[in-house]
Amino acid sequence: MKAFTYERAASPAKAAEAAVANPGAKFIAGGTNLLDLMKLQIETPTHLIDVNRLGLDEIAATRDGGLRIGALVRNTDLAAHKAVRRDYGVLSRALLSGASGQLRNKATTAGNLLQRTRCPYFYDTTKPCNKRKPGTGCAALNGFNRNMAIMGTSADCIATHPSDMAVAMRLLDATVETITSDGTKRAIPMADFHRLPGNTPDIETALAPGEFITSVVLPKPLGGTHIYRKVRDRTSYAFAVLSVAAVFDKQGETRFAFGGLAHKPWRVEAADALGSRGAAAVAEAALAGAKTTEQNAFKIDLTQRTLAAVFAQKEA
């Protein structure tokens, strides 16, 4: 960990301002991801802006029947919130399948969206990694890549986004609300929030430098049956090998989003439309253009199988 200076921001706009004024700055929320990365010098901020006491820990109804979730709402509180459990079951379940109780108590909504990949080479500063150090190469491409992405990959990076919560947010078509140093606010749809790696895997989101997340907004409830099925190598406290978030609404509309497949929560409109045709059809559409390695080719079969499990669960 490199020595850094520290300040406590006074307001969201001030936080964004401070970030622009200190080019090496980072916001710190729960710190459960950032601090680990700092200890390994994968992140080396020179200045930390503590955003924990800005009153962004509220969950409130929006005028059009949705929910506005403050950026600093803890994962535990979000999962337990009455309206979330009632109307956005898939989000509550996704949150509770992630990390551990202690981590969820610290982890925040914005921090969760921005957590970085668990690619093991990203964590090893002695190894090439375009995401950590652009231009050095991708060690995972021909290395240990069982857990890596099969959708939307590039020759420069095949990492996945590890969040469970983000998959549910994507499924629900949430929007991320931000503020910049000049006070400009904008709303970024989840579909556009995370990026595919392309040839700049170090740039992971649509956020501009210093842009600060104030909240995440959920549109009005979809109703229907909400399912989050996380497949993992042990029963708890493990990142997803693969996950499927699904909503089957009362009108027979379906939508599906996937974790563990790509550099972002993976959702394909063509697949959403095929819910009535069953798991195989959805999988085929969702996985069009998949690029696998010898080690992660099983994710094709696993996606279809997990979708089959989701369909079976819906019937049960």
Ligand X SMILES: Cc1cc2nc3c(=O)[nH]c(=O)nc-3n(C[C@H](O)[C@H](O)[C@H](O)COP(=O)(O)OP(=O)(O)OC[C@H]3O[C@@H](n4cnc5c(N)ncnc54)[C@H](O)[C@@H]3O)c2cc1C
Say whether residue 228 binds ligand X (CB under 6 A): no
In the bound complex, what is the minimum distance in angstroms from residue 191's beta carbon to other proteins?
A: 27
Residues 142-171 that bind ligand X (CB under 6 A): 162-165
In the bound complex, what is the minimum distance in angstroms from residue 309's beta carbon to other proteins?
A: 4
- What is the number of other CB atoms lying within 10 angstroms of the CB of residue 185? 11
Nearer to ligand X, 142 or 235 (CB): 235
Rounded distance, CA 125 to CA 279, Å?
Answer: 41
Say whether residue 119 binds ligand SF4 (CB under 6 A): yes
- For 49, 160, 169, 253, 277, the CA distances from 189, given in Å and listed in that order, are 25, 20, 10, 21, 28
Say whether residue 310 binds ligand SF4 (CB under 6 A): no
Say whether residue 262 binds ligand SF4 (CB under 6 A): no
Select the binding partner of residue 71 from ligand X, ligand SF4, other proteins, none (C-beta < 5 to 8 A, by kind).
Answer: ligand X
Note whether 61 and 69 are within 8 A (CB).
no
Tell the burial category of 214 from Cβ atoms under 10 Å away from its Cβ (0-12, 13-18, 19+). Answer: buried
- What is the number of other CB atoms lying within 10 angstroms of the CB of residue 176? 27
In the bound complex, what is the minimum distance in angstroms from residue 146's beta carbon to ligand SF4?
A: 12
- Chosen residue from 13, 18, 29, 84 binding ligand X by CB under 6 A: 29
Please compute Rg for the chain using Cα positions: 19
Say whether residue 314 binds other proteins (CB under 8 A): no
In the bound complex, what is the minimum distance in angstroms from residue 249's beta carbon to ligand SF4?
A: 36
Residues 278-307 that bind ligand X (CB under 6 A): none
Helix, strand, coil share (%) of the chain residues, nearest 5: 30, 20, 50
3-state SS of 32-58 is CCHHHHHHCCCCCCCEEEECCCCCCCC
Let me know how many helices (H) and strands (E) the chain has, helices first. 12, 11
Upper half-sphere CA count for residue 169 (Cβ side, 13 Å)? 31
- Chosen residue from 5, 41, 46, 184 binding other proteins by CB under 8 A: 41
Binding positions for ligand X, rule: CB under 6 A? 26-34, 36, 51, 71, 98-99, 103, 106-108, 110-112, 114-115, 162-165, 212-213, 239
Binding positions for other proteins, rule: CB under 8 A? 1-3, 39-41, 118, 120-121, 123-124, 126-127, 139, 142-144, 146, 231-239, 241, 279, 298, 301-302, 304-306, 308-309, 312, 316
